[in-house]
Amino acid sequence: MPMTFTTTGRLIRKSAVYSRVTVTLPTFAILMLRRFAERESVKHGRAETVSTLLEGWILALLSPLEIDKAAKASPEFKSIAAAWVLREERIQRARAKQKRRDTHAKRGTP
């Protein structure tokens, strides 16, 4: 069972960081979301999904004040959000490392 550390050092299951929710949208909206995800994949050179696209949009809407309020209202919010941040940092570091490798490969340098 995969685990990840929170900033407090407590262990939290990776499955606790993400949840599934089913939404009902008009078919044209689903088709457009898929198109947007495909376009972003090409633009950024990495696989984007409807989920990653929506995640980015939702996060862009959140203010620090809203996040603080949610943390105060929900005891588990802070640890889950911290675990998500750590996971994102790890992903971003891996992407940056891969980008450096790709750049060096294009230049022909080790």
Given a cut of 60, whether residue 12 has pLDDT beyond it is no
The whole-model pTM stands at 0.65
Q: Is the pLDDT of residue 63 over 50?
A: yes
Instruction: Give the pLDDT of residue 6.
Output: 47
- 14: pLDDT confidence band, cut at 50, 70 and 90? low
- DSSP per-residue codes, the chain: --EEE-TTS-EEEGGGT---------HHHHHHHHHHHHHHHHHHTS---HHHHHHHHHHHH--HHHHHHHHHH-HHHHHHHHHHHHHHHHHHHHHHHHHHHHHHHHHT--
The pLDDT, as a whole number, for residue 51 is: 92
Judged against a pLDDT cut of 80, whether residue 36 lies above it is answered with: yes
Q: What is the pLDDT of residues 44-62, one digit of tens each?
A: 888 899 998 998 899 889 8
> What is the pLDDT confidence band of residue 83, given thresholds at 50, 70 and 90?
confident
Mean pLDDT (whole number) for 66-93: 85
